[in-house]
Structure 1
């Protein structure tokens, strides 16, 4: 396996699990590889099997401190920088890293939950499929052919493209190559039929194609991989400093910062429900809220979570590993508190208020994140009721 890692540029996720098992001297499952990717300790990559349409992006400073994505398509990468995209697509292929934004993070999360035989969470606000390589950043695109109102052009394409395709001219050739290059491709086949079809195609008044964002990895011919140098980097770092010990002990851990975020939201929703999480004797009131949504929970469990939520609001809470069971407990409490506060849906005003309260304790979360937690809390309550 060591020789294969050194010879090849990349390995599959299963091969990565086998290599790490050997490197650490203990079994590392595929679920744990997903967990390491989601916790950003290990970077996943994608190998595009065919030339793929994409729009390039450039990094810009996040001086305004934006906490979510822009309506004009400017994507928030982290708290320090954002990406603005070009309008003109190009063709790319090869191996690219997968930043955990947009639908890539949802796809990995779904694979992780499936490996654990658990129900995948509800995803909202899918923003596209993004890939990067050094300072290069791209958003993958689908070709939608011509505008729907250009019926003449669409009809002509349906008649002529099969002829051109038989002459080894792809849709990408028509879009991205010059007319002379396309004609050269057709001439190599030594047939007049393809050239005539191409000339008829080009005589039409419009040659514009329409593109839209790729919203799922399943829409692309791809292979999920881990670059060999990235796997070796992670393995070497882990041997020098046991940075993954907590992550390896439990295959059902939540994202490293997720517990803190959920506790902060519990503290905020306590306040919205008229409850001070650090006040004495508040546990029975919250326990009643939980019972009103059809779920039972011990007073010791509620008391502990309220104490931790108060610490999180005061920025004094030290995170611990987040198991699936504990995550569901926190989500149920959020759902019960929302119900008690009369929050049955999230409009812009409520989201902005929650965001503002969270930012005061150093937690900057997007509209999509808050809405997703709300939906997951409802799902957790329904699952517990059954």
Structure 2
């Protein structure tokens, strides 16, 4: 693990691809990263470069940790699971246990069908969020990830829609992303609709007289848009409902949002792989003689490659070779073994 990696809080998708290729010891594609996220093996995040509008909330009620023995297994993959009420959780258990369904698929299906606006406790106002947020993958954001995966693998277009909107979270706080009616070019009378009209006038070189007629028609549509907005505001205030009159749940992630992966998530993935790949306890550790043999072989290969193991730049030269091989080893580690070579060779020559 490089020093730079330790300092970074998140990686881009190309950087993650390179890291996982080294970790797995085999080629990893960008499509593999999105599939790992969809299957619950990796937490995918998104970086709002220019910010995003959202309603803030938190899942109502807490799930007692004693209600199931392996609760940590589920909450690790689905952080929001610990906030579900006990009745909801019991329903989820009934969903997959009697039928022996795959736990990951069952949980995903459950979350997609039970997390609603009421259970999220969303606030009435709209805030602007910046930075990196994680994707729970139970709303429209999952469709965006699925779409990216299908595009990278030459699959079909994702035509499914999610009316509940797209979600992101940070810690225990969840956000439902919002879009502005004014920025929706397909909403008659919006500012974006008016900007499209002006662009049309310019691109089609419409004469001044006809252009003024189009602008007058838009003014009437704009006035109707504003009247409808005010009527909706009065309706919502009378019922003490969500007072926002200019936003609605986003159909997906913003176009200027970038997919990223937190280094913390990659470390957790590496830890799980390490535990799964632990050697058999009956396997004997490398003894002194085989170790000296290997060090002697390394020395012979270095001499053949004209690498002086005693020179100052030997470790850096070998480190570069490991990078080209795709199995990056730090200079510090290499230097430690280079220092052991003379004694090993001397032992073998006796």
Instruction: Give the shorter-chain TM-score range.
Output: 0.3 to 0.5
The structure with the greater share of residues assigned to helix is 2
Scaled by the length of structure 1, the TM-score of the pair is 0.42
Higher RCO (C-alpha 8 Å, min separation 6)? 2
